[in-house]
């Protein structure tokens, strides 16, 4: 197969990339003063709904750093708006969804959105951003995986112990399963819309899947999640990235995963993740997995961490996309991002 001209896509599909591909989860965010300046005047959801503001903050990190990808500025909970919920991000509170989903009636009242009509602002933001990218840069679209989005819909906000979610799983599994099904259907439409607007690859975030037992994950959660990955691969013919969140045990459940890339949390060694995935018969590219807090280290230490990870990656999988193991935090010094990229490009 010929190179696509985009190092990240080449790495994702198993071709030799022309340089070491790198991007950072939450690369658009509060650690950048220029983001905070925009955010000071705008509500978070309003920024997500404005294609111009979304494209502007998506591009901010690319103006500073030589990154291989832009990930569209949005949130995994944006589709919940299209499904009929009200989403708010009050400062210091994190996301909140009104009218939590706890009954079968709540689930059946949720709307399957018309992605173009109800969530088209995300597609417009993607098209606008893409028009400003270099040819070798990749446009990443994304969505939350059904379990992670469902956990916010059920709890109504973020949670430590996921009690309301677990109540449904263990007492009323039909409600939980119905919600996941509805979310899968929505997510397929939502991602297709993003791809039609110009996304070159899409990533599915299952940040909270680590809260589940391997059995619940295997029987109730992974199949409906993988249905999204397969549908996108088969119908849209573009590569997909899956982020299964915390817990190396999860890797044992991914034998028939349709993703091209598995994004690894920092609590698992890249080599260990690759070994398990090979054992279960999966030949994928790995992405990750620097601890985002390692970006606090002094420059010479950080350069060593980057090299350690590069060495670890050599035998871990067919290719490696450099990234953090979870999103960048507001207190990360932007200079650390430049250091990582500089060290990666040295080879
Ligand atoms: O990576 C990027 O640069 C793209 C944008 C992006 C955001 N959220 C922007 C955001 C992406 C890919 C997400 C995904 C997301 N959102 C996830 C999955 C990945 C992960 O990080 O675990 C989850 C669980 C959410 C839900 C969410 N959104 C939470 C829990 C919070 C509050 C925590 C926080 O950092 O404030 C958000 C808010 C959010 N999403 C911000 C950004 C830039 C901060 C909003 C602000 O400016 O106040």
pLDDT of residue 92: 76
CB 323 within 8 A of CB 289: yes
Cα of 58 vs its chain's centroid, Å: 14
For residue 35, give the ligand 1 atom closest to its CA.
Answer: 47
CB count in 10 Å sphere of residue 5: 11
Q: Does the Cβ of 25 fall within 6 Å of ligand 1?
A: yes
Q: Does the Cβ of 88 fall within 6 Å of ligand 1?
A: no
Q: Is residue 102 among the annotated active site residues?
A: no
pLDDT of residue 192: 98
Q: Is residue 26 among the annotated active site residues?
A: yes
Q: Does the Cβ of 60 fall within 6 Å of ligand 1?
A: no
Can you tell me the distance from the alpha carbon of 61 to that of 63, in angstroms, rounded to the nearest whole number? 5
pTM for the predicted model, two decimal places: 0.97
Cα of 26 from ligand 1 centre, angstroms: 7
Domains of the chain: residue spans and CATH: 7-344 (3.20.20.210)
| 53 backbone dihedrals φ, ψ, rounded to 5° | -70, -40
Q: Does the Cβ of 28 fall within 6 Å of ligand 1?
A: yes
Can you tell me the distance from the alpha carbon of 70 to that of 61, in angstroms, rounded to the nearest whole number? 8
Q: Does the Cβ of 207 fall within 6 Å of ligand 1?
A: yes
pLDDT of residue 185: 98
Can you tell me the distance from the alpha carbon of 162 to that of 221, in angstroms, rounded to the nearest whole number? 15
pLDDT of residue 81: 96
pLDDT of residue 106: 98
Cα of 214 from ligand 1 centre, angstroms: 26
Can you tell me the distance from the alpha carbon of 24 to that of 67, in angstroms, rounded to the nearest whole number? 9
For residue 57, give the ligand 1 atom closest to its CA.
Answer: 3
CB count in 10 Å sphere of residue 268: 21
What SS3 class is residue 84? Answer: coil
pLDDT of residue 247: 86
For residue 27, give the ligand 1 atom closest to its CA.
Answer: 3
- H or E segment at 219? none
Q: Is residue 39 among the annotated active site residues?
A: yes
For residue 327, give the ligand 1 atom closest to its CA.
Answer: 21
Cα of 29 from ligand 1 centre, angstroms: 8
Can you tell me the distance from the alpha carbon of 21 to that of 89, in angstroms, rounded to the nearest whole number? 32
pLDDT of residue 347: 65
Q: Is residue 215 among the annotated active site residues?
A: no
20, 26, 31, 260: which one is catalytic?
26
Region for 150 from its dihedrals, namely left if φ exceeds 0, alpha if ψ lies in -120 to 50, beta otherwise: alpha
Q: pLDDT tens digit string along 121-154?
A: 999 999 999 999 999 999 999 999 999 999 999 9
Q: Is residue 217 among the annotated active site residues?
A: no
Q: Whose CA is nearest to atom 23 of ligand 1?
A: 76
CA distances from 275 to 20, 88, 268 (A): 22, 41, 11
List of the chain residues with pLDDT < 70: 347
Outline where the chain has alpha helix (H). 7-13, 33-41, 44-49, 51-64, 78-82, 104-109, 115-118, 120-130, 146-155, 163-171, 173-197, 214-216, 222-236, 270-279, 299-314, 334-345
């Amino acid at each position: 197969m010929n190179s696509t001209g985009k190092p990240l896509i080449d790495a994702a599909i198993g071709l030799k990339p022309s340089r070491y591909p790198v991007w950072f989860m939450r690369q658009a965010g509060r650690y950048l003063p220029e983001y905070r300046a925009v955010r000071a005047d705008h509500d978070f959801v309003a920024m997500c709904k404005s294609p111009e503001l979304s494209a502007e903050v998506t591009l901010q990190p690319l103006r500073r750093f030589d990154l291989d990808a832009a990930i569209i500025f949005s949130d995994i909970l944006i589709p919940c708006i299209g499904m009929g919920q009200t989403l708010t991000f009050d400062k210091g509170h994190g996301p909140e969804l009104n009218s939590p989903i706890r009954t079968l009636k709540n689930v059946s009242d949720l709307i399957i959105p018309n992605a173009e009509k109800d969530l088209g602002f995300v597609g417009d933001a993607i098209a606008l951003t893409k028009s400003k990218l270099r040819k070798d840069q990749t446009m990443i679209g994304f969505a939350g995986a059904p379990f992670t989005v469902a956990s916010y819909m059920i709890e109504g906000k973020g949670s430590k112990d996921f009690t309301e979610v677990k109540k449904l799983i263990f007492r009323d599994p039909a409600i939980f399963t119905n919600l996941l099904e509805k979310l899968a259907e929505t997510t397929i439409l939502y991602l297709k819309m993003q791809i039609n607007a110009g996304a070159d690859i899409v990533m599915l975030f299952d940040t909270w899947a680590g809260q589940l037992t391997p059995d619940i994950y295997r029987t109730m959660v992974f199949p409906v999640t993988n249905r999204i990955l397969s549908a996108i691969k088969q119908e849209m013919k573009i590569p997909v990235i899956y982020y299964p969140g915390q817990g190396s045990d999860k890797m044992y459940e991914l034998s028939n995963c349709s993703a091209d890339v598995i994004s690894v949390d920092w609590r698992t060694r890249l080599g260990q993740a690759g070994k398990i995935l090979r054992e279960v018969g999966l030949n994928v590219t790995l992405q990750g997995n620097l601890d985002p807090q390692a970006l606090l280290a002094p420059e010479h230490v950080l350069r060593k961490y980057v090299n350690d990870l590069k060495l670890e990656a050599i035998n871990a999988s067919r290719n490696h996309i450099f990234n953090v193991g979870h999103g960048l935090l507001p207190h990360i010094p932007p200079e650390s991002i430049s250091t990582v990229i500089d060290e990666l490009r040295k080879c």
